[in-house]
């Protein structure tokens, strides 16, 4: 039996390194491998590369280079934002945190731990059935002692884009001293990110979601927004994040960010059209299927299919055998036997409905999407087929 052509539709979990990114990283892996903190020429070359990458990423995001702190990824950036703000400003401004119910686990788990330890009070704001969080509900949760509001720019499971700018303005109208953080890990390269327009105080991004290397991220902190460092040591990154900088990964991140921003206008239109075509085909061909957050503004490359009466794990496994690589939600949590918190927040029952996340990339073709739709329809049909009839029983003699 000939193995089917494998179709990768899990770009929301991670993306392949773009060839341009590999080329940008190689010199710092094999030739310019100096420590950026060293005073000699090799160290100065490495420092120049880090500073240049910071300049380039700042241009993509629309901020000042000094407002960016390089991290090991989006999770560390989120933790630095939440914990760093609370520890620096909690005693002065209050220890109340406001987050949405659909945040990434890096935010939700962090605030839950802080709440359980008595270090902070936490209000979790629910979302609507379309996966969007009402900015008015965010504002209503803000109190005089609220120190931080965190609302992601785009959800990583269903793709719903949030109205962060409006939420930030309404939150500050309630409490002018509140700081606003947004997790933009899934948004970079898919929707415009203009920090001046978003008007947030902190924003997290990651390289491996946009064709850059794993283990590289960054936190934007508006100039004057002081944070308590979470890693102590040599005082790198202006004292905000100690540890020798990963020069190759940082150079790759800057290259990837420029690449996806340059391609974004064309790719957004192309990928949205392919996604919409697949959704139409699946909805017409597979019974008991729906699209989560379909009425919301969504990331152009992401579709979350809901299949009533099916098991997400079984469907993902069946599609893997069929050569379609998808996930059942966040790649950071899909290995755990826990229901999707995003589905629960949207009012869905994960025990009765499967969520299958499909996410396209810059190289996903129309032929692949047509083939994927056919394989998905087949897999759903098999998953929902009536169970075999029970064995016949006969009366005892």
Tell me the catalytic residues: 332
Residue 195 CA from chain centroid, whole number: 17
Residue 225 is classified by DSSP as -
Start-to-end CA span in the chain (Å):
48
CB 167 within 8 A of CB 138: yes
Residue 191 CA from chain centroid, whole number: 13
**Separation between Cα atoms, residue 344 and residue 316, nearest integer Å:** 19
What one-character-per-residue DSSP string does 7-30 give?
EE-BTTT--PPPHHHHHHHTHHHH
For residue 361, with 0-12 CB atoms within 10 Å meaning exposed, 13-18 middle and 19 or more buried, which class applies? Answer: middle
What one-character-per-residue DSSP string does 234-280 give?
S-TTTTTS-S---HHHHHHHHHHHHHHHHHHHHHHHHHHHHHHHHHH
């Amino acid at each position: 039996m000939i193995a089917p052509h494998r179709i990768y539709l899990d770009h929301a979990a991670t993306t392949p390194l773009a060839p341009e990114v590999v080329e940008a990283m190689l010199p710092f892996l094999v030739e310019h491998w100096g420590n950026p903190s060293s005073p000699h020429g090799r160290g100065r070359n490495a420092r120049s590369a880090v500073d240049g990458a910071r300049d380039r990423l700042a241009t993509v995001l629309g901020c000042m280079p000094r407002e960016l702190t390089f991290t090991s990824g989006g999770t560390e950036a989120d933790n630095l934002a939440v914990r760093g703000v609370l520890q620096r400003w909690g005693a002065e401004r209050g220890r109340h945190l406001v987050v949405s119910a659909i945040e990434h686990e890096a935010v939700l788990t962090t605030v839950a731990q802080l709440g359980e330890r008595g270090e902070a009070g936490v209000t979790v704001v629910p979302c609507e059935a379309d996966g969007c969080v009402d900015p008015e509900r965010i504002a209503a949760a803000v109190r005089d002692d609220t120190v931080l509001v965190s609302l992601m720019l785009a959800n990583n499971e269903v793709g719903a884009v949030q109205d962060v700018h409006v939420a930030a303005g309404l939150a500050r109208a309630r409490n002018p001293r509140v700081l606003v953080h947004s997790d933009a890990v899934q948004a970079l390269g898919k929707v415009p990110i203009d920090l001046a327009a978003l008007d947030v105080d902190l924003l997290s991004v990651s390289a491996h979601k946009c064709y850059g290397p794993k283990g590289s991220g960054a936190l934007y902190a508006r100039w004057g927004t002081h944070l308590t460092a979470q890693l102590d040591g040599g005082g790198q990154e202006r004292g905000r994040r100690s540890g020798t900088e990963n020069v190759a990964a940082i150079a790759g991140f800057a290259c990837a960010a420029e690449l996806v921003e340059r391609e974004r206008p064309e790719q957004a239109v192309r990928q949205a059209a392919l996604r919409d075509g697949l959704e139409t085909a699946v909805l017409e061909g597979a019974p008991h299927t729906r699209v989560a957050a379909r009425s919301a503004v969504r990331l152009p490359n992401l579709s979350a299919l809901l299949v009533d009466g099916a098991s997400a794990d079984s469907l993902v496994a069946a599609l893997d055998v069929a050569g379609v690589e998808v996930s059942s939600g966040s790649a950071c949590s899909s290995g755990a036997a826990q229901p999707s918190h995003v589905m629960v927040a949207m009012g869905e029952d994960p025990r009765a409905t499967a969520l299958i996340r499909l996410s396209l990339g810059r190289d996903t073709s129309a032929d692949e999407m047509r083939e994927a739709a056919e394989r998905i329809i087949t897999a759903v049909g098999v998953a929902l087929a009536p169970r075999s009839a029970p064995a016949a029983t006969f009366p005892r003699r």
